Structure 1
Amino acid sequence: MSLEGICVLPIVLVTLSTGTFVINYVVAVLQGHVDVIFPYISDSGTNPPESCIFGLMASITAMTGVATIYARYKLIEKLTERRTLVRPLVNQIALGIGLLSCLGICIVGTFQETVLRYVHDVGAGLHFVMAVLYMIMQTYISYRTQYGPSKALCCTRAIITSVACLALIPTIVCAILVKSQQVIWTGNEKEYGLHLASAVCEWVVAFSLVFYFLTYVHDFKLFTLTVKTELVEYN
């Protein structure tokens, strides 16, 4: 793979995101802290040592997400300098929504559900809802600009976004209906079906976001960002 432009940003983001999910899941299962079959993502980052790994990787992922989202914002800003394909306000709102999603990741990684569950749940809701809204807005922007992404790539983003939207609703609704706060389930509990549906859909939303950012690799090959330093001398 050719690493032109700054496509390393979404590649690192996708790698970190996937690593955060998979590594914590494997460690938590090996420690006997969660079910093998679709625990909540947060459940795999509840107890040490996986909670320490989860908090660290979630923070690094959030910072990388901020950098990627800002780079995407600057790309669209540059593309729309001469032709108003997308209103600047739309691009700015997308940036704000994306940054709120990253804030949600930080909250989830910092406040474990067994310590401050309500704060943790607010962070999780903020992340997933804002992430899906961000995908919707960026899919709209992709169709409006059509600068580098082919029509097939735009359609791919639309499909991924649709899957995330459909999975988000049962994720939230079923999670609200589940009153039990247990982490390990036997499968005989009354609310197990709701828990399983919510957990499966949560993983679908999470990996939809991962695959969505993977489509940025194509875009980010087309441009670079530079930092300009100016020294102001005072008399």
Structure 2
Amino acid sequence: MFWFRQGLCFLPAFLVIWSSCTFIISYLIALFRHDVDIIFPYISDTGANPPESCIFGLMTFISACAGTATIYARYKFVEKLTEETGLVRPSLNKASLWLGVISCLGMCIVATFQETAVTLVHDLGALVFFISGILYTILQSVISFNAYPYGSSKTVCGIRLGVAVFAAVALFPTVICAFFVKQTTLHRHAEDKDYPYHVASAVCEWIVAFSFVCFFLTYIDDFKMFTLRVKAEYKE
């Protein structure tokens, strides 16, 4: 049996590959069309103008759907472990589920409202996505340690915690430096006064985004261990 046919590991695998392609493809198209600078544009800058905005919006929406499915599958897996072992508090698992779903909703807002069209809504969606996503990774790291030795190894638990802390630390300069960026055009120049703030904010934004990708990458082995079934009940 191929590895991606074991359990539900295809879910996080697809999410990781698709999300990475979403960021990279929109960046390459925007770069090819000279819509952004080659050095550290914001992720949203790469999906601000058509046609890359259309591709970015569609691929981000699919990523959000895949993320929701992966988060729900993880929730059901932990729920089953909780029933059998009692190692994880159900309230912690439910809180993690809702934070993950809210983060995916933020992704949908980012995909739907382009940065140059409805800036305020786009920025709010990005904040919801990043903050909820980081809180989700932190809670899942705690859950992983609580569920040990069921599920993940100590090494994987440590990697998840490290990625979650790394993303949380990178979020602060992403948001703080963004407040000092006054220029709203997609092309930046090194002589601009706010250029250092832009670079710091954009770099940290990319770090946070790919931290999420790395976090879901650690789910692949866990998802090999279980499957989900839909049970239909007919009531007269």
TM superposition score category, shorter chain reference: over 0.9
The alignment status of 1:60 with 2:62, answered yes or no, reads yes
- Identify the match of residue 8 of structure 2 among 1, 6, 9: 6
Alignment partners' CA distance in 1, 2:30 and 2:105: 24
The alignment status of 1:167 with 2:164, answered yes or no, reads no
Alignment partners' CA distance in 2, 1:157 and 1:59: 25
Q: C-alpha deviations, 1:147-169, integer Å up to 9, x for none?
A: 12110111111111121111011
Q: Which residue does 1:40 correspond to in 2?
A: 42
Q: Is contact 2:36–2:46 with CA below 8 Å preserved after alignment?
A: yes
User: 1:125 Cα shift?
Assistant: 0.5
Q: C-alpha deviations, 1:177-214, integer Å up to 9, x for none?
A: 21221210121100000000000000000000000000
Alignment partners' CA distance in 2, 1:31 and 1:140: 44
Alignment partners' CA distance in 2, 1:151 and 1:58: 32
Correspondence list, 1:39-188, <5 A: 39-146=41-148, 147-188=150-191
Correspondence list, 1:23-34, <5 A: 23-34=25-36
| TM-score normalised by length of structure 1 | 0.97
Q: Is contact 2:68–2:101 with CA below 8 Å preserved after alignment?
A: yes
Alignment partners' CA distance in 2, 1:74 and 1:231: 23
Alignment partners' CA distance in 1, 2:85 and 2:179: 45
Q: Which residue does 1:222 correspond to in 2?
A: 225
Alignment partners' CA distance in 2, 1:94 and 1:176: 29
CA RMSD for the aligned pairs?
0.8
User: 1:232 Cα shift?
Assistant: 2.2
Alignment partners' CA distance in 2, 1:160 and 1:112: 28
Alignment partners' CA distance in 1, 2:209 and 2:39: 16
% identity of equivalent residues: 53
Secondary structure in 2 matching 1:82: helix
- Equivalent residue letter for 1:197: A
Secondary structure in 2 matching 1:177: coil
The alignment status of 1:209 with 2:193, answered yes or no, reads no
- Equivalent residue letter for 1:119: V
Alignment partners' CA distance in 2, 1:75 and 1:107: 28
- Equivalent residue letter for 2:102: L
- Equivalent residue letter for 1:226: R
- Equivalent residue letter for 1:121: D
User: 1:85 Cα shift?
Assistant: 1.1
User: 1:84 Cα shift?
Assistant: 2.1
Unaligned 5+ residue runs, structure 1?
A: none
Please say which of residues 77-86 and 210-219 is displaced more in the overlay.
77-86
- Equivalent residue letter for 2:210: F
User: 1:87 Cα shift?
Assistant: 1.1
Alignment partners' CA distance in 2, 1:130 and 1:143: 20
Alignment partners' CA distance in 2, 1:220 and 1:83: 18
